[in-house]
Structure 1
Amino acid sequence: MYKNKTDAPYVGTRIEELCRHKKITLRALCHAAGLKYQTLHAQISNQRHIPFESMRKISEATDTSLSWFASDEPPSLLTESDVTPLSDALFDQLLQTTKLRHAQDEKVLDAHSLALIYYRSGGLLSGLEPYIEQVDIFHAPQHGDTRLRVFRMGKESLTSKTLKRTDIEQLQASLDAAPPQLRMRFLADYQQAAKGEFLYTIETLNAAAVDHGERIRMDYLRLLIRFDSEDHGPLIVNLSELLR
């Protein structure tokens, strides 16, 4: 995936490629996504900005990952998305929650803020410093890696709050002890993020952590973004927000 917004392909072109791949017309796509054909057609024809909300609806209607639209992957590599699409009701709820939290505390980090920090800092970890305790950070997987490696835990991250302590060794041991299928899925997600893709998903966790008395059951939003550190190389930042 392209790291810089200026290098990314125009999403309207990607929408047209998607239509050809799926053998549907743009009008049919608009109908499925609940969009106005005239509006989207004019935006694409004049290469105007296409709102994120429109892209989200297209992504949901076609079961296509949002990250694909900003990548250079050919349509032939499209597979069914493993991302649970957000319903309109949930999207609105999250948006209102974000606005409320920002009104109460300007230092609260959410997915939108993290993405802005990434672009404004050029993807450098130093730009995240004021919010570093709200995220967990992992080493970007390298070729041949078979496990995730924890770099640091934030004292205010969802993981620390769930485990009721900030203990890198405990988190590493819990990840290593997870069922093989879950370990491999997590590793694949972080490998995808290491390529420069923003991975934003709804996750469900039902597992036991090492040295933790209670079984952890929760649904949460997870955003993975690659940041680069001058001292430590590529790292994956994990921002997770509890849903229930």
Structure 2
Amino acid sequence: MKERPILFSGAMVRALLAGTKTQTRRVVKPQPRRVDGGVPFGDAPAWAHAEPGSAMMRCPYGKPGDWLWVREAWQHSNHPYGPYDEDCMVFYRADFLDDVHGPDGEKSPEGHYRTWRPSIHMPRTASRIVLEIKSVRVERLHDISEADAIAEGIERADDFFDCRCWRAYDEPKGSDVVFPDDPIGSYASLWMSINGPGSWDANPWVWVLEFRRLNVEHSPC
């Protein structure tokens, strides 16, 4: 069993904590060069694929049974007077997304702002979420099913006229922009909010990781 870090946005951290996110999709790098529409991977295990004529391509996030520890935006109790150490109290930006002053304190009447550290700088000892990989596969982004889109942790919005609705990402909460009975449309907006304009239309090959959250903080010695 190996252990690797993985980054998640605040909204997805909340979904992990709520147990509504059990999958994630990450772009395969480099992208396969096949242009005939066929599947470019051979008969290797799902976590280790090979494009014809190329070296083996292994999933950088691991294989079933491996662990992923989550990096997220954070801060520690020694800030700004000292460096982080393992005895510090750790705070997570995802826990402040519903704060009336905003997660960064930008609406605070006192003008007090919260200074968060980027997720990429989170050390292992500050992480609070560990995931165990259950399965790995490769597919085109647009192949996602409605069930898988929901498993990606998209958020339900208020229902209208007995129709299930899903949140539109990159839109304020409470916005009138929703996706009625269209979880894939909601996931597409989430994908673009993370990966940028045009990233959904590009329809890249992606690693699909299915996982479960573990009730542990550190890997065994």
Same fold per superposition (TM over 0.5): no
For Structure 1 versus Structure 2, the TM-score category normalised by the shorter chain is: under 0.3
Higher-strand-fraction structure: 2
Of the two structures, which has the highest relative contact order with CA contacts closer than 8 Å and spacing of 6 or more? 2
Higher-helix-fraction structure: 1
TM-score by length of structure 2 reads 0.23
TM-score by length of structure 1 reads 0.21
